[in-house]
Amino acid sequence: MKVYDKLYIGGEWVPSTGTGTFEVLNSSTEEKIGTIPKGSVEDAEKAVKAAKTAFEAWSQTSTEERAGYLDKITQGLQAKMNEIAEVVSSEVGMPINLATMIQAGLPSMTCGGYSGILRGYKFEEEVGNSLVVKEPVGVVGCITPWNYPLHQVINKVAPALAAGCTVVLKPSEVAPLSAFMLAEIIDEVKLPPGVFNLVSGDGPTVGEALAKHPDVDMISFTGSTLAGKRVSQLAAETVKRVALELGGKSANIILDDADLETAVKKGVQNCYLNSGQTCSAWTRMLVPKTKHDEAAAIAKKVAESFKLGNAPKGEGTLGPLVSKRQRDRVRGYIKKGTEEGATLVTGGAEAPEGLDKGFFVKPTIFANVKNDMTIAQEEIFGPVLCIIPYDTEDDAVRIANDSVYGLGGGVWSGDKEHAKKVARRIRTGQVDINGGQFNPMAPFGGYKQSGTGRELGTHGFEEFLETKSLQL
C-alpha cells in the first residue's frame, strides 16, 4: 500500500489545502493499493507561484548543470525500475513483463535521451545581422493521462526541465503513484526548490486552474480530445502556448501484396497492447475485400491465443482495463458494434469466465465493419479490433483518412517503397512500415483532432523553447 498524504511544492512535501483523497485500485483484483490527496485550486496556485519564483534562476543555469540533473533523475528511475513496473502494472493492467520494458523502461530511456539532446543542442544561430536565440518558454503546466502514466509524465517533464522551464505536474488521479515516485526521486537529487512541483487532483479542479492561470506560460496536455478542447478554450484566455496529444483511431492498411498472416498477426498484437489502452493503437484493420474472410480467420486465431490474467503476477498475456468505468464503456461499444451490424468474430461484451474480480474485457474482433459505424469512428480504448474491407488502394487511403483523428497507423506491403508511397498519403503523425518499431527519439503527435505539437526527441524538446532575435 502506497499512501501519499502530501503534495510536492517548492521543494517540500506539504499538506494539501483540499479535502478528501483519491483511492488507487489494483485493476486485476479491485483491491486498494494506494491513496493520494485530492488537491485544490489553492494548491495549484501555490505550485504555480513556486514555479514562477524558481524560473529566473533555473532558466539561467548552464546546459551541463541541467543535463547533470537529468542524468541523476535517470539513475533514480533505473534504480526503481522493478518497483515502478509493479505499481503501473497494478494500476493500469499491463502484464508485468511488458510493464517492465515499456512502463518503466521507456521513461528512464527517454529521460536519459534528453540529457544527450541538451548537451548537443545549438541554442544560437546567426541570420544576417541578427543573433537568433532559443530560450525556455517559462512555467509549464503538465497534465498527463493514466494509460502510460510515467512515460507520459517524462515525455513532458524531462524536455521542459532540459529547456530551462519550471514545471507544475498534474498526473491522472486514476494511476498517479509513479508520478509521486518520480517526485521522491527529484527530491532525492535535490533539484532546486520550485523547479518541479506535483499537485494531484481532478481535471475540473486542478487541471482547469493550471490551464487558465495567467502565470502559466504553456500547457502540455495528453488525454481525450474532449478534454483537450476544454484545455484549449481555457488556455486561449491568456493566449498561452498549448501542446496537445489526444485521441486516435489509427488505420492499419494491409496492401494486396503484403504477407497477410504476418500483417494480421502483428496488427492484432498492436491493437491489444496495454489491453487496447493506447491512443495510437491500430484499431482499424483495412484489408482487400477478396482477403477479408481469410484475414478475419487469422485475426480470430491470434485473438483467442491471448489469455486474460492478473497483470502484476504475470498470469496472463492480456491484462484488465484500468477501471470499472473504462470496462463498462468498452463493453458498451462492443454491444453497439453488434447492434450496428458488424460481425462479431470472437470475444464479446459478456464477462470472461473464471474472472470474478478485475476489470477484464474479452479480446474482441469485429469483421465486415463499415467505416461509418460507431466502432470505426470513435476511440474505444480497449481490446477491440475492427476489420474493414476495401476495394482499391485509393479506397483504402480514403477510408484511412475518413476520421476526425490522425495519430498513428500502419502500412504493409511486399514492396517497402510502395508502402512508403501509401504512407505519405495518410494524414497522420506516425506510420509504421511493415511493423517498424516505435522510436522514442522520433517526433510523436497527431494531425486533425489528434492534437497539436510533437513530443519526444529534438522536436519534443523544441516545443518548450521560445525564439528571440537580437539585431546586431
The residues annotated as belonging to the active site are: 245, 279
In sequence order, the β-bridge partners of residue 220 are 142, 243
Is residue 213 within 8 Å of residue 205, measured between CB atoms?
no
**Block residue for cell numbers 522536436:** 459
Is residue 367 within 8 Å of residue 353, measured between CB atoms?
no
Q: Is the dihedral of CA 423, 424, 430, 432 positive or negative?
A: positive
Half-sphere exposure of residue 122, counting CA atoms within 13 Å on the CB side? 5
Q: Cell triple for residue 43?
A: 494548491
- The H or E element containing residue 182 is helix 177-188
Is residue 295 within 8 Å of residue 254, measured between CB atoms?
yes
In our burial notation (b when 16+ CB lie closer than 10 A, e otherwise), range 397-412 reads bebbbebebbbbbbbb
Q: Give the contacts of 197 (CB within 8 A, at least 6 positions apart).
A: 7, 8, 9, 10, 47, 50, 51, 166, 167, 168, 169
| DSSP classification of residue 449 | G
Residues in the chain: 472
**What are the Cα distances from residue 68, in Å, to 63, 71, 429?**
8, 5, 32
- Strands 166-170 and 139-143, sheet pairing: parallel
d(CA 141, CA 153): 11
Q: Cell triple for residue 249?
A: 483511431
Q: What is the 3-state secondary structure (H, E, C) of 35-68?
A: EEECCCHHHHHHHHHHHHHHHHHHHCCCHHHHHH
Residue from 225, 218, 216, 274 nearest 245 by CA: 225
Give backbone dihedrals phi and psi of 131, rounded to 5 degrees, phi first.
Answer: -105, 115
DSSP of 125-172, one letter per residue?
A: EEETTEEEEEEE--EEEEE--SSSHHHHHHHHHHHHHHHT-EEEEE--
